[in-house]
Amino acid sequence: MPPTATLPNPDPARPVLSPVPRLAAAILPVAAVAVAGSLATTPNIPTWYAGLAKPGFTPPNWLFPVAWTILYTLIAWSGWRVLGTAPATGGLKRTRTLALWAFFVQLALNGAWTPVFFARHDPAGGLVVVVALLVMILWTIRLFAPLDRIAALVLVPYAAWVAYATALNAAIWWMN
């Protein structure tokens, strides 16, 4: 992997995006995914999800919203940091464009998993989505690294949690 550095805006007096649009671009999509996920999950926890056979490594239900609140905060902060980078030319400019696409694709997959797994009651479909999500998170981390090492590193707990969720989803699918 090439050396990593945060690439400052060529003109530090003029940010890539002004603060409010940059903050909105980082927070609003993440918040929308979080709210949509909560709406699809909450009514299904005491009914459908409660009736599923689950593996011994299933965490208590209260842990999920705590973990996701922390992770969504890290995801938004990571996106905010990369939105503030401005590689002037060449490969890093293309990397930034691809990294932002990867970031928003993984976010869309994150938003797709909950309705598939919980609202459609489809652990097999959820497994397909969560595997794709994990791949996209890892790719996003790889693409963020040369742009902003911190932005890449704060996504590592997210990747770890989604890897765990993938194992949990697979076990639930297998057991049901």
pLDDT tens per residue across span 124-133: 999 999 999 9
Q: Which H/E stretch holds residue 126?
A: helix 123-144
Low-confidence ranges of the chain (pLDDT < 70): 1-16, 87-89
> What contacts 93, CB < 8 A, 6 or more positions away?
87
CA-to-CA dists, residue 55 to 70, 82, 176, angstroms: 24, 37, 11
Residue with tokens 């797709």: 112
* Whole-number Å distance between alpha carbons of 83 and 131: 26
Q: In the prediction, which pLDDT does 91 show?
A: 75
Residue with tokens 């990369």: 82
Q: In the prediction, which pLDDT does 16 show?
A: 65
**How is the chain split into domains, by residue range?**
62-175
Q: What is the pLDDT of residues 14-55, one digit of tens each?
A: 446 777 889 999 999 999 999 999 999 999 999 999 999 999
Q: In the prediction, which pLDDT does 18 show?
A: 76
Angle ∠(54,115,100) on CA atoms, nearest 5: 110
Q: In the prediction, which pLDDT does 9 show?
A: 47
